[in-house]
Amino acid sequence: MTDQFKSEELASASAVFYLFGATGDLARRKLFPALFSLYKEGKLAEDFAVVGLARRPRTDEQFRDDVYESIGEFSRYKSDDAELWNRFAEHFVYMSLDINNVEGFRELDRLSSQLDAKFNIPGNRLFYLALAPELFGPVSFNLRDGGLLESKGWHRVVIEKPFGYDLPSAQKLNDQINQVFREEEIYRIDHYLGKEMVQNIEVIRFANAFFEPLWNNKHIANVQITLSETVGVEERGGYYDKSGALRDMGQNHMLQMLTMIAMEPPSRLQGEDIRDEKVKVLRSLRQYATSEDVRTNVTRGQYAEGSWRGKALPGYRQEDSVNPESVTETYFAAKVFVDNFRWAGVPFYIRTGKRLPVKTTEVVIEFKNTGSVLFGQRHDLTPNLLVIRVNPMEGIYIKINAKEPGSDTGVQPVAMEFCQSCKIGLNTPEAYERLIYDAARGDSTYFTRWDEVSQAWAFVDRIASAWREESSDLQFYPAGSWGPEKADEMLAKDGYRWWPVNGQEEDNVIWVTNTGK
């Protein structure tokens, strides 16, 4: 990157950032730390301002204290350089505002002009809505009516998930936002798209002669995507009990990762080209035809009492703000097909759940055996695997077969791993850093376009609708276990199994790794 290009990028990031929901959990855990990392790395120059917005009263000083505490607790960089912190903090101001009151927005507009002048900002506006979805429409209207879209620079709105509850509600929300913002001004967040290893999927696929020619149904037996969490519903019961795992993780993160694995090569690795290919995958998803079809191909579960590392854990129905008779799923696993030329016949198994034994996100590509007369008929051969480790460990490993040393016919599985987080460690940016930076530069590649969102809802709505008909298929699994056995049976019927996450439980494998294992 040339210095000139660098400075052009920084100039385009000059903006007032409006953080709606500035007293909320997301701001504290993710957004303040992300802004601090960007500043520390020089990706925000001095010409920006952040206005924290929420109803509760705060002085600028109190708000800066909140930001400081959040960075101390959650940032990958420490805030112990007083000079750096003071310079950063100067850019932060707070205004108490109720989203339903347009007067507050007029005052915000006046404050914005002062911030433009103070920080030399050319009228650019980035509105970040870390708010409950029912406020997305009202805030958009009041931004317009309060005059905030009349400044001479660009205007962009970053919208948190969930984008709706189903297709009709998402459509309604989109229609409201479209009355104020054009599609190219709307940045719908799916923070998984900001993760390094999700973005790395394109490089692994398209920059490696090892994989690119094999990436199809002739060579791939199945694909497995696991997003497992050890946490329960925590203090988000009010939201989660209405949402469940399918809407919270399936409609967005899981389908987005699936599209990155399955999409055709885009004509260029950027913006609309990538999004065009992703939406084609979503359009090719085989829709479940009947409720019976859903019940056969999708397993749902809810965690019951259990234990993890010797600690007793309550069941979901005992959690605060959860209906004690709730039938909300905290787990689901599905067999999905992408009905196109490349993927015909290849099952994509996806699963996610709370209160599972390990926090991890992994994609496993299981290759077909060679079929050669020499080894193809052997049932003890381990299939070749390519495993992409997304979160929290980042890296890839491949599992291959080699000769067992000293034996005539023995075959030894060997796993070769590149652990990116072990090697690069602190330097890996958080997803929210990358996404805020992209939005400020006007790069929407890793945000979801409306056609993607609507296709994903259409797919998920069929499942939700079958589930609504009756709940007798809800399986209870002990907290701390790997979820309902029915999900294992689904793969077993096809002659497969879920590969253990990190493959570490298989002790016949020789590991070559930079993790020191």
Ligand X SMILES: O=C1O[C@H](COP(=O)(O)O)[C@@H](O)[C@H](O)[C@H]1O
List the catalytic residues: 253
Query: Least distance to ligand X from the beta carbon of 381, Å?
Result: 33
Query: How far is residue 511's CA from residue 515's CA, in Å, rounded to a whole number?
Result: 10
Output the furthest CA–CA distance in the chain (Å, rounded).
83
Asked whether 263 and 280 are in contact (CB, 8 A), the reply is: yes
Question: Taking CB under 6 A as the rule, does residue 50 contact ligand NDP?
Answer: no
Check residue 98 for interaction with ligand NDP (CB under 6 A). Answer: yes
Nearest CA to 167 among 452, 512, 490?
452
The contact mask relative to ligand X for 357-376 (x = CB under 6 A, - = no) is ----x---------------
User: Which residue shows structure tokens 């001095």?
Assistant: 46
Nearest residue (CB) to ligand X, 251 versus 297: 251
Contacted by 461, from ligand NDP, ligand X, none: CB < 5 to 8 Å by type? none
34 binds ligand NDP (CB under 6 A): no
Output the six-digit token pair for 470.
Answer: 């009756």
Residue number, 23 or 361, with CB nearest to ligand X: 361
Q: Which does 132 bind (CB under 5 to 8 A by kind): ligand X, ligand NDP, none?
A: ligand NDP
Minimum CB separation of residue 265 from ligand X in Å reads: 27
Report how far residue 265's alpha carbon sits from residue 262's, in angstroms, rounded to the nearest whole number: 9
Annotated binding site for NADP(+): 21-28, 55, 98-99, 161
Q: 3-class DSSP state for residue 136?
A: helix
User: Judged by CB under 6 A, does residue 56 bind ligand NDP?
Assistant: yes
> Is there binding between residue 95 and ligand NDP (CB under 6 A)?
no
Which is closer to ligand NDP, CB of 365 or CB of 435? Answer: 435
Q: Are 389 and 514 in contact (CB under 8 A)?
A: no
Residue closer to ligand X (CB basis): 116 or 248: 248
Q: Give the nearer residue to ligand X in terms of CB position, either 113 or 230.
A: 230
- Reading the block at residue 367, the tokens are 């290759």
What does the per-residue mask of binding to ligand X show for 271-310, with x meaning CB under 6 A? ----------------------------------------
Binding-site member from 13, 34, 99, 456 for ligand NDP (CB under 6 A): 99
Rounded least distance, CB 248 to ligand X, Å: 5
Residue 98 interacts, among ligand X, ligand NDP, none and using kind-specific CB cut-offs from 5 to 8 Å, with: ligand NDP
Minimal distance in Å, beta carbon 295 to ligand X? 25
CA 79 to each of CA 26, 39, 42, 83, 84: distance values in angstroms, whole numbers, following the listed order: 19, 11, 15, 10, 8
CB 467 within 8 A of CB 300: yes
- # of chain residues touching ligand NDP (CB under 6 A): 20
Residue 55 contact among ligand X, ligand NDP, none, beta carbon within 5 to 8 Å by kind: ligand NDP
Per CB under 6 A, 245 contacts ligand NDP: no
How many H-runs (helices) and E-runs (strands) does the chain carry?
A: 17, 18
- Of 328, 300, 330, 335, nearest to 225 (Cα)? 335
Which of 448, 458, 490, 447 lies closest to 347, judged by CA? 490
> For 168-188, what is the HEC assignment?
HHHHHHHHHHHCCCCHHHEEE
| Least distance (Å) between residue 389 CB and ligand X | 12
- Single out the segment in contact with ligand NDP by CB under 6 A; choices: 16-24, 150-158, 278-286, 323-331: 16-24
Of the two residues 224 and 228, which places its CB atom closer to ligand NDP in the complex? 228
Is 55 a binder of ligand NDP (CB under 6 A)? yes
Contact between 147 and 106 (Cβ < 8 Å) = yes
Name which position in 116, 185, 196, 229 contacts ligand X (CB under 6 A).
229
Binding-site residues for substrate, in ranges, read 191, 195, 229, 248, 354, 359
Q: Which two tokens stand for residue 179?
A: 């009355």
Strand partners, 415: 399, 511
Q: Is 23 in the site for ligand NDP (CB under 6 A)?
A: yes
Residue in 155, 161, 355, 389 binding ligand NDP, rule: CB under 6 A:
161
Contact of residue 391 among ligand X, ligand NDP, none (CB under 5-8 Å per partner type): ligand X
CB within 8 Å of 123: residues ≥ 6 apart: 116, 151, 152, 153
By CB under 6 A, what part of segment 113-152 binds ligand NDP?
130-133
Touching ligand X, residues 388-407 (CB under 6 A): 391
Distance CA 334, CA 460 (A): 11
Positive or negative torsion for Cα 388, 393, 395, 397: negative
Length of the chain: 517
Q: Which residues are CB-neighbours of 258 under 8 A, at least 6 positions away?
A: 223, 225, 281, 336, 338, 348, 350
The answer to whether 444 and 190 have CB atoms below 8 angstroms apart is no
Contact region with ligand NDP (CB under 6 A), list: 20-28, 79-87, 166-174, 267-275: 20-28
Of 47, 66, 196, 248, which lies in the binding site for ligand X, with binding defined by CB under 6 A?
248
Q: Which residues bind ligand X (CB under 6 A)?
A: 229, 248, 361, 391
* Interface contacts to ligand NDP, rule CB under 6 A: 21-26, 54-56, 97-100, 130-133, 160-162
